[in-house]
Structure 1
Amino acid sequence: MIEFELNTSTQGTALMKEMAPPPRQITCDRSHYAYDICTIHVETTLNPTTSTFFIQHPTTVDPNQTATKIRPYPRKFDGPVMSRIKELTITAGTPTPSCHVKHEDPALVFSAGGYTGNFFHDFNDGFIPLFITLNSFFHDKDAVLVISKARDWWVNKYATLLREFSKHPIVDLDNDNKTHCFPEATLGLVSHGFMTIKPELMRNPKSLHDFHAFLRKTYGANDNNVSSSSFPRPRLVLLNRSGGDGRLLLNIEEVKLEMQRVGFDVIVFEPTATTPLSKGFEVIGSSHAMVGIHGAALTHSLFLKPGSVLIQVVPLGLESVAEMCFGKVGEMGLKYMEYRVRVEESSLVEKYDREDVIIKKPSDFVNGRAWSESTMNVYLKEQNLRLDLVRFRKYLRKAYNNAKQLIGS
């Protein structure tokens, strides 16, 4: 009797397996505000010339699932920029091309287009999402990076960082004419928001603090040569801007002198598109505080060691965007402060009447207008600052006290 039941059970299990649908070979998650992500769970062949991934051994699938498309860039909410991102196709319903290059590790596919070239977006649309995705989908294996818009200047600038992400050469999705075979592939990058990583959403939980440690591992070769005793006074990096794109610090020499009077050793640092990341890390990673006007260069705060102080100087009209972009750096263990300028500290008061909505109610001016028309042109490009030294000194003293504790630890 027992043997019969066991056999019946075995036969029933076999019958259920026959009736059960085959495992999904392609899964896509399109539920997120910032990104879509698709995973091919079986062997796949990439034809770069058509931007198509083919399932090598397709099973019987829902006809609606034989092909899907994705733009692998984590700004789904930004229609204009997404329209410029190359669209990729995954298909299970057409013949698979022969394989020229066979890879043992899975592919991670994304675009370095969009706003790449702006330092803030390089990290927030690129390297932070890449770090999240690798630790969410590839935590126990290496990945081959398959990249669209991997332009020479970008690859050269970030070569050291890219090698830390993957030991494999990049597959250039735009200029490679060979087919590539992978055991699996993930298309798209996961984003948790600007300057933030949410470990509770990851299979291999990591934080922004871990990302800083990753950067220190990559660029901190000289860390062992720098100790707290090397700096008898706390060291502050003052980010400078020059040129005609706005947000200049008009009294930078006076501000620098005030910083020195408070007790800081001050380094004025003006990063450019050609500044090596190793140089930026050498300057900022060995400092105890950083001050800068809102802009992409504040992304260098990722290089500050935990416990350091970041003061973001917020121009008129940029309060919400400043908080959105850099308000979460405390997740990295930084002491974050905002210095919000008053009307008298903004050059806009020289151009517009004090009763003008641009001056009196910046939020009303911005609401309902396109970013490029309002914020970009007026508050970012037309505005320069002259800080009130008496008022700013209070922030510097607080930053100094925090930095002094760090230097003594």
Structure 2
Amino acid sequence: MMMGSQAKFLRCFSRVEPQTLSFAIFTGCFLISMALLVLSAGYFVSFPSLGSWLSPHAAPPLPSAQVNDTNNQNVDLSRKPLCDTSDRRADICDMEGDIRIQASSSSIFFVTSSIQNTTELQDSWKIKPHPRKGDHAALSRVTEMSVGYLSTEEDLPKCDINSTVPAVIFATGGYMGNFFHEVTDLIIPLYISSHKFNGEVQFLISEMLPWWMTKYEILLKKLSHYEIINFNNDTMVRCYPRVIVGIAFHKDMGIDPARSGGVTMFDFGQFIRSSYSLERDTAIQLGADRDKRPRLLIIARSRTRRFTNVNEIAGMVEWEGFEPVVAEIKKNQSLAEFARIVNSCDAILGVHGAGLTNLIFLPTNAVVIQVVPLGGLEMFCYSDYGVPTLDMKMKYLQYSISIMESSLVDRYGITDPVVTNPKSVLAQKEGWRNWTSIYFFNQDVKLDGGRFSSFLIHARELLRR
């Protein structure tokens, strides 16, 4: 191989005109002389330090040709791997360049002209692009994808479709079917990861659920102006200038502005209201006119953790100056339709559970009242719904029921440790399983009107501010 290259080089050299050859020899001698001069003067010439040379304030901008230079690309690759697997909830791969997606083999390739500078890096990753990392039950039916480098010297999958916009790849799966998980595990992370593209991004979705696509069609179309690709059924090789595999998760029902470029849950709320064309941006503000009746939505759960005295609660709500609205999304009701009902209200009341996730449709300054059932759930409830409420610039009240307001008294008796000491349940064998079964799936609530009425008074006062 070397002999052939040398022969080719000599043939090229032999075709050079004599005058050109003389000039080349003269130039070479001149350059060698200058190099020797610099070396001999090295101890007397002051060069800038490496730090100041690399400083963005000291270094001039690189010409565009240099920015795209292959060597520079390889230097960048040696410093930054394609994938970040350090987060506790989501593995994210974010790459720019020549990226080729071969869904038929669940592979994403970053094409580079040389991998010589990536030898110290991990050169491939296995990713499940759903933000419940470590939760084997949630990820058991999520397709694992391979992300890695591919050299131009290898056989490259040929592009069937070349796109000019970036792509985001993610999977549904997980705990879809629970509204809380649909929003906190997918909708908010998808918003974090894709809103910055202003619709100029394409989604490739693995484990695509038809009902989920229908339910969130409005939001998906708001975030992406392009056809959504069913990853598992795609036979094309798709090529993109940038690909993000996985969606960023910050916290349950939340966004960390320090990690999102300043975007907050308040921004998310505005996005939701805009997407569904909801009429009300701000809740009612009560003044001297006491005849105004703010609307209060009572989430009437039909199965677990339901109110057993809904009619009594509605009467109490009306007595305290609210217009009660008793509702829960119906099986065949569109999310957009229910969002309009929620947005028409100024306050929401519900036992801890997925129904309270509907607070994302409320107008700013609305009041959220979360009822905490027995089980020592106070901090858990505040984290899930209290913090998001405040982050969205709404008012929050948290009501912890008494022992006599829980249906567990009828089932176990007033002196049973299940009622008096929920922590003891966790200490038992199969503690977490039993605790979840008892306090989440086998407990209902009967609100004490005399005890709860002060919260309604407080809620009305909050609407005056």
TM range, smaller chain: 0.7 to 0.9
Distance 1:182 1:274 in 2: 38
Gap change, CA 1:252 and 1:20, over 3 Å in 2: closer
Amino acid at match of 1:22: V
Gap change, CA 1:370 and 1:180, over 3 Å in 2: farther
Give the structure 2 partner of residue 321 of structure 1: 380
Deviations 1:66-100 (A, max 9, x none): 32111111111423323332111012246321111
Q: Is 1:23 paired with 2:76?
A: yes
3-state DSSP of counterpart to 1:354? coil
Give the structure 1 partner of residue 127 of structure 2: 70
Question: Between the two proteins, what is the percent identity of the paired residues?
Answer: 30
Please say if residues 199 and 222 of structure 2, whose CA atoms lie closer than 8 Å, have aligned partners that are also in contact: no
Deviations 1:362-407 (A, max 9, x none): 123235766872233111111111111100101011112223x26x
Please say if residues 254 and 265 of structure 2, whose CA atoms lie closer than 8 Å, have aligned partners that are also in contact: yes
Deviations 1:138-168 (A, max 9, x none): 4577221111122111111111110011111
- Give the structure-1-normalised TM-score: 0.87
- Structure with bigger RCO (C-alpha 8 Å, 6+ apart): 1
Aligned residue among 242, 247, 251 for 2:305? 247
Aligned residue among 392, 395, 408 for 2:452? 392
Distance 2:174 2:186 in 1: 10
Amino acid at match of 1:324: S
Gap change, CA 1:371 and 1:165, over 3 Å in 2: farther
Aligned residue among 86, 106, 109 for 1:54? 109
Number of aligned residue pairs: 390
Amino acid at match of 1:50: S
Superposed structure 1 runs of 4+ greater than 6 Å apart = 17-20, 226-229
Please say if residues 54 and 96 of structure 1, whose CA atoms lie closer than 8 Å, have aligned partners that are also in contact: no
Map residues 79-98 of structure 1 onto 2, 5 A cutoff.
79-93=136-150, 95-98=155-158
Please say if residues 219 and 278 of structure 1, whose CA atoms lie closer than 8 Å, have aligned partners that are also in contact: yes
Amino acid at match of 1:310: V
Give the structure 2 partner of residue 45 of structure 1: 100
Gap change, CA 1:261 and 1:355, over 3 Å in 2: same
Give the structure 1 partner of residue 400 of structure 2: 340
Please say if residues 219 and 277 of structure 1, whose CA atoms lie closer than 8 Å, have aligned partners that are also in contact: no
Q: Is 1:185 paired with 2:240?
A: no
5+ unaligned residues in a row in structure 1: which ranges? none
Q: Which moved more, 1:28-37 or 1:295-304?
A: 28-37
Give the structure 1 partner of residue 264 of structure 2: 207
Give the structure 2 partner of residue 376 of structure 1: 436
Distance 1:369 1:190 in 2: 35
Q: Is 1:233 paired with 2:286?
A: no
**CA RMSD after TM alignment:** 2.8
Aligned residue among 204, 217, 225 for 2:274? 217
Q: Max radius of gyration: which structure?
A: 2
Distance 2:107 2:432 in 1: 35
3-state DSSP of counterpart to 1:23? helix
Q: Is 1:303 paired with 2:345?
A: no
Distance 1:251 1:79 in 2: 39
Give the structure 2 partner of residue 103 of structure 1: 163
Amino acid at match of 1:290: I
Distance 1:272 1:80 in 2: 28
Amino acid at match of 1:152: P
Distance 2:271 2:133 in 1: 27
5+ unaligned residues in a row in structure 2: which ranges? 1-33, 39-46, 54-65
Gap change, CA 1:364 and 1:319, over 3 Å in 2: farther
Please say if residues 306 and 332 of structure 1, whose CA atoms lie closer than 8 Å, have aligned partners that are also in contact: yes
Distance 2:72 2:334 in 1: 59
